[in-house]
Amino acid sequence: MGEGAAQVEVVYALPDRQRVVTLALPEAGLTARAAVEQSGLLDEFPALRDRPLVLGIYGTVCAPDRPLRDRDRVEVYRPLRVDPRAQRRERAANAARIGRKR
């Protein structure tokens, strides 16, 4: 890619591995979904094809048809195994129980 050329990144992370793919942003534009398809991540991580893609740009969920701008970072999100709010409540309850035992 030439210096100053418009580009976007597509990222996907597992607990033990992260992939960042940089793509040229064509003048005609690119959607978030199209960027993921062009990145090759769907081939590299076939499990992504088995569920609906949840995408975001810099931590904010976006529609797959969202047009991208220069330097956008498309993030492919994994489903949560545990609801973080429920996990927090459970830790607080455990801490309260431990505190009562002293």
- More confident of the two residues 74 and 93: 74
What pLDDT sits at residue 101? 60
Rg value, the chain, Cα: 19
Report the pLDDT averaged over residues 3-9: 87
Instruction: Tell how strand 73-77 and strand 7-14 pair up.
Output: parallel
Residues 49-85: tens digit of each pLDDT: 998 999 999 999 999 999 999 999 999 998 767 677 8
Q: Say if residue 98's pLDDT is above 70.
A: yes
pLDDT value at position 2?
A: 56
In percent, the amount of the chain with pLDDT more than 70 equals 90
Domain ranges of the chain: 7-101
Helix (H, G, I), strand (E, B) or coil at 47: helix
| Whole-number average pLDDT of the chain | 89
User: What is the value of pTM for the model shown?
Assistant: 0.75
The share of the chain scoring above pLDDT 90, in percent, equals 65
The structure tokens listed for 76 are 């492919």
CATH fold for the domain made of 7-101: Ubiquitin-like (UB roll) (3.10.20)
From the CB of residue 11, how many other CB atoms can be counted at a distance below 10 Å? 17
